[in-house]
Each structure stands twice: as structure tokens, then as C-alpha cells.
Amino acid sequence: MVVPPPPRSTIEKLRSRLKETFFPDDPLRQFKGQTLKKKLLLGAQCIFPILNWGPNYSPKLFKSDIVSGLTIASLAIPQGISYAKLANLPPIVGLYSSFVPPLVYAVLGSSRDLAVGPVSIASLVLGSMLMQEVSPNNDPILFLELAFSSTFFAGLFQTSLGFFRLGFIIDFLSKATLIGFMAGAAIIVSLQQLKGLLGITHFTKEMGLVPVLSSVFHNIKEWSWQTILMGFCFLVFLLLARHVTMRKPKLFWVSAGAPLVSVILSTLVVFASKANNHGITVIGKLQEGLNPPSWHMLHFHGSHLGLVMKTGLVTGILSLTEGIAVGRTFAALKDYQVDGNKEMIAIGFMNMVGSSTSCYVTTGSFSRSAVNHNAGAKTAASNIVMSVTVMVTLLFLMPLFQYTPNVVLGAIIVTAVVGLIDIPAAYSIWKIDKFDFVVTLCAFLGVIFISVQQGLAIAVGLSIFKILLQIIRPKTAMLGKLPRTDIYRNLHHYKEAARIPGFLILSIESAVNFANCTYLNERILRWIEEHEAEEDMEKQSSLQFVMLDLSAVSSIDTSGVSLFKDLRKTMEKKGVELVLVNPLGEVLEKLQKADEAGDFMKPDNLYLTVGEAVASLSSTMKGQSSTMYEGT
């Protein structure tokens, strides 16, 4: 009954393997059977998704996009300024980064809801990593150069991932890791805002929970009551606005507009009361004008190259993860497809262009994309509207921010990152999978107590270790027959399943390879010993067949093949026969190739189902045990 799979050459196998690895989405599917002209058009649409929606763009769509575009602009301007400060960059860089990248994304990106610009986590990580080598206060120009260079490498890395179809690398940031990491990062970010919210001037440069809190409480005399009062008022206002929107998503404009309202109100208050002379620090004079070119500021060699590349790698992965996840979430809601690898190229290209036009790392932001979606965005044109609004601000409105107090920026950041702490999700992880929760916890504690990058690294390492552990110690189960059926299932799970005397039926629930063949050998021998010990006690018929159900063994390597050969030899010495059941195509093929003597392929050693094997083999057994089988 068991037949070998149809033969395929090594080249064919390699081709199908490479295709599944790098082109699981079969991106050329739509090109099949089209005319050349159509193919060229499809190709252009593939590279520039704007060609998909641009030609059919209508005034009705534009009406939706202009509303959502203006809404996200009102959020993007204060957030841009705030996040740039979080990255220790001049506030204006945050606005530059909300101007060029959205335009690039509108042309290349395939999501209709992504609102592009600087985000909190990438800003925090960029700032904290660069601070390890360069001080943003003592050497602001170098710091800025390194930030642009990191942005370039982040973009290059993102584009390469997409181009070489290695997008699966971001899958290694599991949901469990991200939830812990983002909660930790939100706390670190909020702690940093204590500087602005309390008006402290001598603040630690470290990021961890302990040094920041100790710095806060060692500088109590620097606390400024005017700042604290103002910060408290605006924080309450912003959190209330956020609460309203969370309760009634239709009132999205409440939380979307609140930051801009806060900025305007606080600026007016400061301007009117001259509070900047009474302990409240303000942003100060900002330069007018559009993004200056910055390609001459990129570092491609020199002593900081290693740092810049590392920072690019980490911020690149983080911002990619956020952008892709946001894109996929809203695509699923509106039932359209977002191609991960294409998005990576779009985001990466946007960052490379950004790095030459005074922008730092940008991506699609969770919070702004949600506002964009709720405000009814229909196409990426909402990003263009936002971009134009930011351009107008850059050209004409910069002097208005001169009196904006830093404290209100802190309040805006805290309100934005509070949403990253997702306690229900963490609870659901705890409920479903304890080990995943350990990963979440390690990411969280690692970020707040050690450092942002190391917390992330620990969590990713743990996640991979968990996968490897499942390979190193695969599960094996003893199967029994369910009464009145021919179905064999795990005896420990299905209590009514019964053993068949003279048979030991084991299922192996993993690929068999070098990392687990020693374990599996020992474990199977232990199953046999335990089985024999129990039989001795129950005075049952002795073991005649050990049956391995290979239905769940998805692949095997040379070490795995040796395992079965060795097991067969050991069994023979004990007078027990080894029977294999339902090896899958690849496994069967390799066993066949390795089996010069033809032992594995003998019809009475190889069956398609356990039931079949038991029925066929028990007829060959000694009369006594055969009758016992009939009795079960």
C-alpha cells in the first residue's frame, strides 16, 4: 500500500524548495498568460502601486483623503517635533521627516491606510544607541550626521530584505516579544519625559528605570511647580481625549486633534504670560524652510561606521516590524492584500531618500494609521495631503512654535506611548502559553532594567531557543486503539484507548534530525523497557512489534536515517520487529535511498495506517496473543 512518491530530480526539488522559501506568495502568478503590454503594465503597477489607484482617482475619494490627511497632519506636526526630541535630534528634523517620506511612500507603498512619519520606538532606540558614542549636546552636528547615516543603513537593510525576499526575518519578532518589548519601551519613553514634565535641567543620560528614577529624586530641588502644573493639566486633557476616542471610535477627531490643540493652547498661554521667563522651558527659535539636502552628511567610513550600521540594523528591523504589522492589520480589516516584501522595499527606499533630505528613520505608525483609518482615508493620497500640510507649516508657520513649552511635548509623547502597553494581550498570552509569557516578561524586564536593544535580543534569543528545544526534545506518545473504531490515538490523552498486546505503538511528533536522534534513540528504548517492565508485572504476552507512526515526521536527515537503522539492529537483538507506519514522501524517499538491503521497504515492515499494520501483523503472531487481540 505504501508507495514511494513520484521521482523528482535534485534540481526540481531544489527549485521547489527555493520557491517555497523565497516566493511563498508566488508573486509572478498574475503575469501568467498575459500579453506583453499587459505584463509591462502589471510590472509597473507592481513597482509603483500608485498606478493601481491613481488613474481611477475621483473627487469623491479625494474628499475622504483630504479630511483624513488634514487630521493626521494635525497629529503628525506635534508628534514629529516630540519624537525628534526623543531621539535627541533638533525638533525640526521631526517635521522634515513628516514631509519627504510620506510622499515617497504614496508612490511606492501598497497600503491604503498607513500614515507615515517618525515613530516613538525607533526614535528612542536611535537616540539611545547613538548616545553610547556621541553626545548630542557636545557634538550636535556629528550626532545628526550619525542619525542620517543610521537612517540610510536602515533603509538599505530594509530594501535588501525585501529585494532578496528575506522578509521572514521580521517574523522572528514574535507577538509575545513585541508586546513585552513595546510595554517596556513605553515605560522607558515615559520616564524620559519626566525631564520635561517636571522641568528638571540636570537629567541622567541613561535610559534604565533605576538611573532615571534616582536622577529624578536626587534633583527634587530642580522640580518646577509651574511646569508640573502645566504638564499635569495637558496630560489630563490628552488622556481624557484619548479615553473618549477609545470609548467612541467615531469621535476619532477628539484624540487626533487634542495634541495640536494642546500645542496651540500652551503656546498662547506661555506667550501671554511670558512663562518662559518663569521656569517653563520652550522649544525656541526654529529655522524656516524645507528639508535641506543631507547626502553629504552620510558616513560610509570612519570610526563610527560600526555603530551606525548596528543602529541602522536595529532601528530598521523595529520600524519595519511596526510598518508591516500596521499595514497587514488594516489590510485585513478592509480585505485587501499587502505584500510584505514589496512593503519592505517601499519603506526602505523611503528611508534611503529620507536620509539624503534631512529625515531620520520613519515608518507607518500604529497610532496615526488608526486615526487615518478612522478618519476615512481611502488611498495613500492622505499621506500626500499630510505632507503638503507639513510643507506649509515648514514654510510659513515655524515662528509660531517658538513659545511652545517642552512640557506639552512630553505630555503628547506620554499619551502616545501609553497605548503601547497592552495588558489584556499580555494576560491572554499568560493564559494560552506560559513559555510565551516568559518571553514577554523577559523582553519587558530586559528593556526597562538592562537596555532597549539587549531586552529585545534576550527575547528573540529565548523565542528561538524555545523552537530549538522543541526540536531537540520532540514529543513521543504511546498510541492505543479507540474502542469500536480503527483509530489509534495517544493513550495519555484518550483515556478510553486500549493497548494491543504484543505491540508497542509510538508516534514521533517532530522532524527527525541530528539534533534529536540521540534523544529519540534513548527515549524509544526507554518506552520499550517501561513497556516490558509493565508486561512483566501483568504477565502479558511479550513484546513482538514496535511500531513507529511517522505521520508527524515532516522531514529527516542522514542522522535520522541512521537512527532507524540503529533501532532496527537493536530491536533484532531483542527479538522484536520494527515496523514503520505512514512515512511522508520525503521521509520515505530517504529511507529508501539509504536502504540497500531493502529492510525498510519490505511490505511487512511498512504500512499506511496503524490499524492496517496491527490487523495484518497480529494474524502472523502466535495463536495465543492473536486470540488476546480478538478479545480487546
Restricting to residues 338-377, which ones interact with a second copy according to CB under 8 A?
340
Q: Which residues contact 611 (CB under 8 A, 6 or more apart)?
A: 481, 486, 487, 488
475 touches a second copy (CB under 8 A) = yes
Question: What's the alpha-carbon Rg for the chain, to the nearest Å?
Answer: 31
Restricting to residues 453-472, which ones interact with a second copy according to CB under 8 A?
463-464, 466-472
Buried b (16+ CB within 10 A) or exposed e, 89-121: bbbbbbbbbbbbbbbbbbbbbbbbbbbbbbbbb
552 touches a second copy (CB under 8 A) = yes
609 touches a second copy (CB under 8 A) = yes
Half-sphere exposure of 170 (CA within 13 A, CB side): 24
Cα–Cα distance, 551 to 587 (Å, whole number):
10
Binding mask 284-323 toward a second copy (x if CB under 8 A, else -) reads ----------------------------------------
513 touches a second copy (CB under 8 A) = yes
248 touches a second copy (CB under 8 A) = no
Restricting to residues 395-454, which ones interact with a second copy according to CB under 8 A?
428-429, 431-436
13 touches a second copy (CB under 8 A) = yes
Q: Among 290, 450, 584, 628, which residue interacts with a second copy (rule: CB under 8 A)?
A: 584
* Least distance between a second copy and beta carbon 510 (Å): 5
Cα–Cα–Cα angle for 511, 517, 522, nearest 5°? 125
Measured from the CB atom, is 111 or 174 closer to a second copy? 174
* Least distance between a second copy and beta carbon 492 (Å): 7
Measured from the CB atom, is 57 or 494 closer to a second copy? 494
616 touches a second copy (CB under 8 A) = no
Q: Among 33, 573, 598, 619, which residue interacts with a second copy (rule: CB under 8 A)?
A: 573
Cα–Cα distance, 455 to 124 (Å, whole number):
14
Binding mask 142-181 toward a second copy (x if CB under 8 A, else -) reads --------------------------x--xx-xxxx----
* Least distance between a second copy and beta carbon 578 (Å): 15
SS (H, E, C) 550-589: CCCCCCECHHHHHHHHHHHHHHHHHCCEEEEECCCHHHHH
E strand segments, 482-544: 488-490, 503-508
Interface with a second copy: number of residues (CB under 8 A): 87
Stretch binding a second copy (CB under 8 A), from 67-75, 396-404, 412-420, 488-496:
488-496
What is the residue-wise DSSP string for 429-492? HHHH-HHHHHHHHHHHHIIIII-HHHHHHHHHHHHHHHHHHHHHS--EEEEEEPTTSS-EEETT
End-to-end C-alpha distance for the chain, whole angstroms? 26
Binding mask 26-65 toward a second copy (x if CB under 8 A, else -) reads x---------------------------------------
Is 119 within 8 Å of 189 (Cβ atoms)? no
Q: Among 555, 577, 601, 628, which residue interacts with a second copy (rule: CB under 8 A)?
A: 555
Q: Among 12, 139, 566, 572, which residue interacts with a second copy (rule: CB under 8 A)?
A: 566
> Residue 545 belongs to what H/E stretch?
strand 545-549
